[in-house]
A and B are shown apart, each in its own frame.
Chain A
């Protein structure tokens, strides 16, 4: 009998392989290697999906019966999946394979952290009464789709800045990258997509909090940090649309935004505590 832990372990290394394939494709300027990267991503996504579904089933077999979105381990796994899914759709639509290095790296890091850190328990645990709600799925899925889009956008921003700093050397590794205008446009679309999901995530969280605790906003650190993230990206969108910001400045704002995402996700759990303390490790 295959267990979910095996499938997820395979996924971890598959994402490492993806990152290496994309990277060597860019370095050695071989499109075929990058194509293999894309094939590996698709396969890893399928294996991971199977792993997640299997874990869901296993939780029913133990008798707890809940979606695998309830603790740090499960959310990290879902985050990796969402990053690669969003990336793959973008790759399919833009036909730009060289952008895959960072998303694959982020997905690998998330999976590796979930699997190997002693601070993250991969045990299937029962749900606390506060989490027993259908809003759990809606809230976690929407938030993490937003986070994942911001991760992809952060990767694009890093590439933009890297490419921008090199004074147009034709040839070189950057020849496989889309041009600056395209990167900027893609970045904007990714941020807008993430912003939509983050808004949805905050709103579902808010509606749920009202149902569970009788208050839709309590300035708890997690809520506040998600609002901070939202404000940074709102500032980015306004700066781009109203003030005509383009390029590096937008890229830097997007990177700052992603740092906020990371802090909302990890920093708040480990440093600040609050209502979301069940997202903590143990």
Chain B
């Protein structure tokens, strides 16, 4: 018994609208923290900015990757629970209102409505009825009649189905979150760098060291960047060919904002870069005054002709400290340990010296690669569906309101000619404009149902 009360209490708490508002505000506050603190920084990177205690706090609560922590997901789960419980609690009531066709109109109850008016018509009951019907139908839509034995009654109703829209919006939130969940469980996200002319099938997965082999290969036939005349990039383009079992199955150009989807896997133009293939260098032996030339493939030892010295290009950077492209050249004299230095490729720099050589790069052959973002997301349709439902739901909530008008009329007293009329209305939104409309309806009815008083009749 105690237990049941306890669970009842939890259920009531979960269904309370207060909780919804609190969850919204807590989610907002947590999100603020996540934007103020740079995300995805490692503990080492944090060291430079924060004190020990702050770092302990950040690491304990995962604030450096806040949106992926357990407690943030728990908050989202909490929101979903609140949503579901609220729906379970309220939907039956809404459906009742939605389905219910009233059987009768009670004039006593009408007087309690937020909008109501009563007056006496001096027309006969038949005349009153026909005028009520025509005026109300004109201003509020068709009147459903619920006459009783001794009275006339009717209801005019509009936009009843808009009551359900709020559930559509709530369902849409669940759809979006479910879609995200499905995507993160059954999908993957990664990237691949492909050299021009090379074919690759392995995707490096995001946030892990693992790779994933696609059932086909992607070849980059060409990568191209074009520029505007002011130097801003205009377009990045990769010419891709997909190859399966040695056969070319698809050729397509890939641009930013124009992805390529094949077999449920989508490729996006994400980045680009270049690596060094080989370089022709001139080595001037300062002691002997002799000039020697050789071609050095990337990361291969090569004998410097005419000597017993060897050279290798160890590293390459496209833009070394904003000085243009540069490489690390190692030179090993006579089989001894190698000495190395950064060599600027495009500049005839006086520091380009290693051992007894002055180094000059005559020509460097670069190879560009294209960087592709790759993903598979089977949950995306749920997300899109959720988005669509959310828009339809909020849009209709805004534009359609549920409004209802009751009318009741009966002889003022048995045997009398005059008719007593009660009108009442209710709306779930936009009360002010409804109030104006309701009042003008009442004014019109009173004017038209009483016009004969005082002998105005011709």
Contact = CB atoms under 8 A, between A and B. Distances in A.
Interface of A: 64, 125-126, 128-130, 132-133, 135, 181-182, 185, 189, 192-193, 195-196, 199-200, 203, 206-207, 210-217, 219, 221, 224-225, 227-228, 231-232, 234-235, 238-239, 242-243, 268, 272
A136 to B, nearest CB: 9
Interface stretch (B225-233, B363-371, B441-449): B225-233
A215 B383 contact: no
Contact of B255 (A129, A135, A206): A129
A215 B180 CA distance: 11
Contacts of A211: 257-259
Interface in B1-57: 17-18, 20-21, 24-25, 27-28, 31-32, 34-36, 39
A219 B39 contact: yes
B395 interface: yes
A129 B390 contact: no
B139 interface: no
A225 B36 CA distance: 10
Contact of A243 (B18, B35, B375, B380): B18
Q: Does more than half of chain B's interface fall in helix, strand or loop, or is it mixed?
A: helix
Contacts of A196: 391, 394-395, 398
Nearest to A243: B17
Contact of A231 (B24, B180, B384): B24
A234 B24 contact: yes
A28 B233 CA distance: 56
B248 interface: no
B212 interface: no
Contacts of B36: 272
Name the residue in B24, B27, B234, B383 with the highest tally of chain A Cβ atoms < 10 Å from its Cβ: B24
Interface of B: 17-18, 20-21, 24-25, 27-28, 31-32, 34-36, 39, 67, 180, 189, 228, 230, 232-236, 255-259, 266, 268-270, 373-375, 380, 383-384, 387, 390-391, 394-395, 397-398, 430-432
A253 to B, nearest CB: 10
A64 B235 CA distance: 13
A126 B232 contact: yes
A162 to B, nearest CB: 20
Contact of A199 (B25, B27, B270, B391): B391
Contact of A214 (B67, B180, B373): B373
A243 B21 contact: yes
A98 B35 CA distance: 38
A200 B391 contact: yes
Contacts of B34: 219, 224
Nearest to B428: A241
Contacts of A129: 233-236, 255-257, 269
A229 to B, nearest CB: 8
21 contacts: A125-B232, A126-B232, A126-B234, A129-B233, A130-B256, A189-B430, A193-B398, A196-B398, A199-B390, A199-B391, A203-B387, A203-B390, A211-B259, A212-B257, A213-B373, A214-B268, A227-B31, A231-B24, A234-B24, A235-B21, A272-B36
A132 B257 contact: yes
Contacts of A128: 232-233
A217 B28 CA distance: 16
Contacts of B390: 199, 203
B266 A214 contact: yes
A145 to B, nearest CB: 13
